[in-house]
Structure 1
Amino acid sequence: MKVAFPAQMREIDKKIIEGGVPSLLLMEEAARSVFEEIQRHAVSRAVVLCGSGNNGGDGYGVARLLLGHGTDVAVVRCYTPTSDDCKRNAAIYGSLGGPAVDLEETSVAENLLGSADIIVDAVFGTGFHGSLEGNTAKLFEFVNRLKAYRLAVDIPSGVSGFDGSASDSSFKADKTVTFGLAKVGHFLYPGCAFCGEILIEGAGFPKRIMNSLADSEVIDEEVISALLPERPRNSYKGSYGSVLIIGGCEIYTGAPYLSALGAFRSGCGMVYSYTPGGSASVIQNNLPEAIALVSDGDFLGPGDIKHLSKLMDRIDCIVVGPGMGRKEESVEFVLQLLRSFPDKSFIVDADGLFAISKDLSVLSRSMEILITPHPGEFGRLNEGRTDLESFMEFCSIHGTSAILKGASSVFCNGSRKISINTAGNTGLAKAGSGDLLSGSIAGFAAQTGDLDQSALLGMYFMGRAAELSSVSEPCNSASRIADSFSLVFKQFEQNAKERLHGTRP
């Protein structure tokens, strides 16, 4: 599903208006979409919170339509209208006798809000940034305590449409009605938690214009269906590529196993591992399908590279870092490894990320590298900055692809294109999930030969497997979630059959 940054959406609006559609007509379409959504509820009394810009203009349009429908409606004027279209819609609403009070009339506004069935937020819109302060913050704190249904126009006030950053006192919507395309900030936390259900209304927005100006996406079933590798009936293990997992140390023996498990569960044909003895034993005892090669030492160091060089011709994608530890020798091993095999695709995770933080120049090697940090690990790579803009800038500067892991994980490539994964639940908030993810991506990459597309496949499969798992979220674990990959594949197989043959009535 395509999504847009606020600046892209403004450019889309501009193109449509330049094409001959009046801006006031676009505003009317938006207001009517919100009005029609309100009609799905049993509403006798509504209050619309209006700002000064075009979001406020939408709100005045909604209030006018409610007034014409006979609904008991009032506007709380949070700011004096400033945009031309907001001024015009406010004037029309007022000329029809629509009641309005200023935010500063605190007791009157609170009485109106306290008796409302539904409260519509049309104060700031997607261009909001910074933090809520003063009377506006107090207003939303008051509204959020009420039992009324809360509906946001475009995005809840206080939430950034760019990156989902949000004030604690942001309007907490039960549903958000947005226009044209959903915005990136709708799907990123903490803002995502304020949006409620998201309804996208596309009337008046030509897909041709939207597709030409917005290239970001939320990863959904349609995206994944187009990326899944085919599995011909006459295939064999070599048809599905080979993965090498490098990691482990005397303390963290299970991480490479989980990564190898992810590679197999995503459909890879052959999985090799290269680890110290303790980790090799875990893999040998729990995953006999893997070829577990053993390092001479208790941790990996530069001397291991000569052993790996004999293996590389057989390998399609390499994961380095799970459970490897942070000894100086292991750090040097990672840096030398990445430089020694510039024609190979690598996924760098966990302690491998610690190693490359010592020399980011390794990211400029000739072949692909995908890094998969959580915010703490990314902060170490990027001078403590973990916001979305810094993340995109980092990928652009270093020409690398990356996944910033979180409740909504974000993939970004060197061209700053992002893909957001919303699949998943708290069952993934466990040690080992990152190891499973890195192996899953590698398994898909071994089959497809495309590391970026495989990042999307791995992210989605991990999240969807957690959702489909029969194990409750608190009790789930990475190894159990891996067993649910089968349910995700079966779901896609069933959907493909239904598209091909149709469904019976």
Structure 2
Amino acid sequence: MLDTQLTTSLSHKLFRADQVRANEEAAAQNSGCDMFTLMQRAGESVFQHCIELFPNLDIFLVLVGQGNNAGDGYVTALNAKKAGKQVYVCAVEPDRILEGDAGTAQANWFAAGGKLVEFSEALVEKADIIIDALLGTGINSVIRNEFADVIDVINKSSTYVVAVDVPSGLDANTGQSLGRCVQADVTVTFVGIKPGLVTGAGKQSCGQLVYADLDIGKAFQALARPFATLLKIEHFKGLAPRDIHSHKGTYGRLLCVGGNKGTAGAIRLAGEAALRSGAGMVRTYVHESSVVQVSSGRPELMVTDSDLEAGLEWATCVVIGPGLGQDEWAENAFETTMKYCQSTNTPVVIDADALNLLCKQSTAYTVSDCILTPHAAEGARLLGLTVEEVESNRFNAARQCAQRYHAVCVLKGAGTLIDNEKATWVCRHGNPGMATAGSGDVLSGILGALLAQGVHVDMAAKYGVILHAKAGDDVAELYGQRGMIASDLFDAVRALINHHG
């Protein structure tokens, strides 16, 4: 019935900055080149992407610090100069003579008649484009004031910014800003894509992410084990066509538990999302005051406010949390549901207030097929951390959450993470327009529907997150990001889930 394996040949791998540093020289040698050749390729790649993405720009401002990142900057500057561009190079430490390959790149710039000029706000405004080669992937502590001051000027300007390998001030592994961080329009990253570039604040700082393997990607990936994997809709074959003789019972019975007094909308969105994602039958268990609101709007949803146990026995899968609340009614519903799912190993998606109730339990429930869907604040409560601690290392938080609750953790946000205790995946789709009430409820419904249709828990989490985010992108492409509401995603999800690959 299902054909949902990942086509791994198309997937993008993520590698920590230290993995790149440790293996790039050997990868270069195995590919028949040296490290200076790599630096030349890096600078050439940055310049080529500048003229492809921003044609007709004439005045280049290249900002360099020290080390190999500065070397890449000098090579970029030389490429621009040779192409007839007007190029200004500013060094944060202008008297410093660089060593090694970076020193060779600096010497080549001077030999070609290049000079260093003093950094100023006026120069930033004069430039058509800024090349950020200030700080590379090696920094992991708060940056010095002289760099912070330059970054402040860059971020205040409206000039295009292209970052070399990583936006300066960004921790390449975690995506955390180290005091200040360049907000780039484009980031050209080399050899391996670093995890911090694709999630949380790092995704924002990078702008458009461009990957340049410098012709050693294959050799590098033979040496280094991926830290995580990037996912896009193209990596999934989708659900197989339905059998002609199948019926509604073939596609699962999903029970959605939530919809407390005054919050009927959340469970209604989750339930309808599940129907639109192919669940055969969906029943909602709600507070008595929510029955009319849920049933009148969507007659295909079965609604009950009594006998939760009977609903659980009927179900092949459960979603709990949308609109659940945290009062006595909610606590009773939560306890009954979790005890049942644990004793029968019924697959369950735990979202919203159910996550808040889960972290209050002295003993965590363990269900073999369980997906948790926290945003940063819920993740912080689940782990006893602050929101800042979660956002400063989202990969670590997702892994901790998965391990603590023995579940697949979907840590929502820019670059949503999926972690199953052993591996991590990052969603490449999604946009800020999806930051709207009810969007998470729709995701829960999609995840529940996939579990109900028999998709394995890991694949349901990955495919569900991708479907939801890509649907948001499709809606934004049609109508724009502002004004998107959660129910706008239904038709887009339905169209995507019927595309069989």
TM-score (norm 1): 0.84
Q: Which amino acid aligns with 2:199?
A: L
Query: Match of 1:324?
Result: 324
Q: Which amino acid aligns with 1:321?
A: G
For 1:32-43, list aligned pairs within 5 A. 32-40=44-52, 41-43=55-57
Supply the distance in 2 between the matched residues of 1:447 and 1:81 (Cα, whole angstroms): 63
Call closer, same or farther: CA 1:371–1:360 in 2, change over 3 Å: farther
- Which deviates the most, 22-31 or 130-139? 130-139
For 1:441-452, list aligned pairs within 5 A. 441-452=447-458
Residue in structure 2 matching 1:216, options 211, 214, 228:
228
Supply the distance in 2 between the matched residues of 1:349 and 1:423 (Cα, whole angstroms): 19
Q: How many angstroms does 1:459 deviate by?
A: 2.1
Output one character per residue of 1:350-370: Cα deviation in whole Å (capped at 9) or x when no partner: 12111110227435x251211
Residue in structure 2 matching 1:419, options 416, 419, 426:
426
Supply the distance in 1 between the matched residues of 2:76 and 2:359 (Cα, whole angstroms): 52
Q: How many angstroms does 1:421 deviate by?
A: 4.4
Query: Match of 1:499?
Result: none
Q: How many angstroms does 1:266 deviate by?
A: 0.8
Q: Is the 8 A contact 1:257 1:279 kept in 2?
A: no
Residue in structure 1 matching 2:75, options 47, 50, 61:
61
Q: Which has the higher contact order (CA 8 A, sep 6+)?
A: 2
Query: Match of 1:272?
Result: 283
Query: Match of 2:186?
Result: 175
Query: How many residues are paired up?
Result: 474
Q: How many angstroms does 1:439 deviate by?
A: 0.9
Supply the distance in 2 between the matched residues of 1:129 and 1:231 (Cα, whole angstroms): 51
Residue in structure 2 matching 1:73, options 82, 87, 103:
87
Q: Which amino acid aligns with 2:486?
A: A
Q: Secondary structure at the match of 1:284?
A: helix
Q: How many angstroms does 1:280 deviate by?
A: 3.2
Output one character per residue of 1:48-84: Cα deviation in whole Å (capped at 9) or x when no partner: 1112122112112222333444444332122446663
- Which deviates the most, 225-234 or 261-270? 225-234
- Which deviates the most, 406-415 or 435-444? 406-415
Q: Is the 8 A contact 2:398 2:417 kept in 1?
A: no
Q: How many angstroms does 1:335 deviate by?
A: 4.0
Q: How many angstroms does 1:122 deviate by?
A: 0.8
Q: How many angstroms does 1:110 deviate by?
A: 5.0
Query: Match of 2:198?
Result: 187
Query: Match of 2:356?
Result: 354
Supply the distance in 1 between the matched residues of 2:362 and 2:72 (Cα, whole angstroms): 47
Supply the distance in 2 between the matched residues of 1:360 and 1:36 (Cα, whole angstroms): 57
Q: Secondary structure at the match of 1:379?
A: helix
Q: Secondary structure at the match of 2:326?
A: coil
Query: Match of 1:27?
Result: 39
Call closer, same or farther: CA 1:113–1:308 in 2, change over 3 Å: closer
Call closer, same or farther: CA 1:337–1:221 in 2, change over 3 Å: closer
Supply the distance in 2 between the matched residues of 1:361 and 1:11 (Cα, whole angstroms): 42
Q: Is the 8 A contact 2:429 2:473 kept in 1?
A: no
TM-score (norm 2): 0.85
Q: Is 1:2 aligned to 2:2, yes or no?
A: no
Call closer, same or farther: CA 1:236–1:10 in 2, change over 3 Å: farther
- Which deviates the most, 130-139 or 445-454? 130-139
Q: How many angstroms does 1:436 deviate by?
A: 1.5
Q: Secondary structure at the match of 1:319?
A: strand
For 1:221-240, list aligned pairs within 5 A. 221-223=233-235, 225-240=236-251
Query: Match of 1:89?
Result: 105
Query: Match of 1:486?
Result: 494
Q: Which amino acid aligns with 2:470?
A: R
Call closer, same or farther: CA 1:57–1:173 in 2, change over 3 Å: same
Q: Is the 8 A contact 2:17 2:173 kept in 1?
A: yes
Q: Is the 8 A contact 2:379 2:397 kept in 1?
A: no
Q: Which amino acid aligns with 2:165?
A: D
Query: Match of 1:151?
Result: 162
Query: Match of 1:300?
Result: none
CA-based RMSD: 2.9
Call closer, same or farther: CA 1:238–1:64 in 2, change over 3 Å: same
Call closer, same or farther: CA 1:132–1:400 in 2, change over 3 Å: same
- Which deviates the most, 323-332 or 255-264? 323-332
Q: Is the 8 A contact 1:274 1:293 kept in 2?
A: yes
Call closer, same or farther: CA 1:83–1:294 in 2, change over 3 Å: farther
Call closer, same or farther: CA 1:10–1:453 in 2, change over 3 Å: farther
Q: Secondary structure at the match of 1:359?
A: coil
Q: Is the 8 A contact 2:160 2:185 kept in 1?
A: yes
Call closer, same or farther: CA 1:208–1:355 in 2, change over 3 Å: farther
Supply the distance in 2 between the matched residues of 1:267 and 1:190 (Cα, whole angstroms): 34
Q: Which amino acid aligns with 1:451?
A: V
Call closer, same or farther: CA 1:44–1:290 in 2, change over 3 Å: closer
Query: Match of 1:260?
Result: 271
Q: Secondary structure at the match of 2:200?
A: coil
User: What stretches of structure 2 of length at least 5 have no aligned partner?
Assistant: 1-10
Q: Is 1:373 aligned to 2:374, yes or no?
A: yes
Output one character per residue of 1:381-417: Cα deviation in whole Å (capped at 9) or x when no partner: 1112323123323323443211122243222221141
Q: How many angstroms does 1:263 deviate by?
A: 0.8
Q: Which amino acid aligns with 1:324?
A: L
Supply the distance in 2 between the matched residues of 1:208 and 1:187 (Cα, whole angstroms): 23
Supply the distance in 1 between the matched residues of 2:185 and 2:379 (Cα, whole angstroms): 33
Call closer, same or farther: CA 1:328–1:276 in 2, change over 3 Å: closer
Q: How many angstroms does 1:272 deviate by?
A: 2.2
Q: How many angstroms does 1:253 deviate by?
A: 2.2
For 1:325-344, list aligned pairs within 5 A. 325-328=325-328, 330-331=330-331, 333-342=333-342, 343-344=345-346
Q: Is the 8 A contact 2:367 2:407 kept in 1?
A: no
Q: Secondary structure at the match of 1:310?
A: helix
Supply the distance in 1 between the matched residues of 2:460 and 2:340 (Cα, whole angstroms): 24
Q: Which amino acid aligns with 1:392?
A: R
Supply the distance in 1 between the matched residues of 2:296 and 2:326 (Cα, whole angstroms): 26
For 1:452-463, list aligned pairs within 5 A. 452-463=458-469
Residue in structure 1 matching 2:400, options 393, 397, 401:
393
Q: Is the 8 A contact 1:462 1:485 kept in 2?
A: yes
Call closer, same or farther: CA 1:208–1:14 in 2, change over 3 Å: closer
Query: Match of 1:501?
Result: none
Q: How many angstroms does 1:221 deviate by?
A: 2.2
Q: How many angstroms does 1:13 deviate by?
A: 1.8
Supply the distance in 2 between the matched residues of 1:9 and 1:478 (Cα, whole angstroms): 40
Query: Match of 1:436?
Result: 442
Call closer, same or farther: CA 1:74–1:229 in 2, change over 3 Å: same
Call closer, same or farther: CA 1:88–1:228 in 2, change over 3 Å: farther
Supply the distance in 2 between the matched residues of 1:173 and 1:461 (Cα, whole angstroms): 28
Q: Is the 8 A contact 1:246 1:274 kept in 2?
A: yes
Q: Is the 8 A contact 2:408 2:461 kept in 1?
A: no
Call closer, same or farther: CA 1:323–1:42 in 2, change over 3 Å: closer
Supply the distance in 2 between the matched residues of 1:397 and 1:35 (Cα, whole angstroms): 46
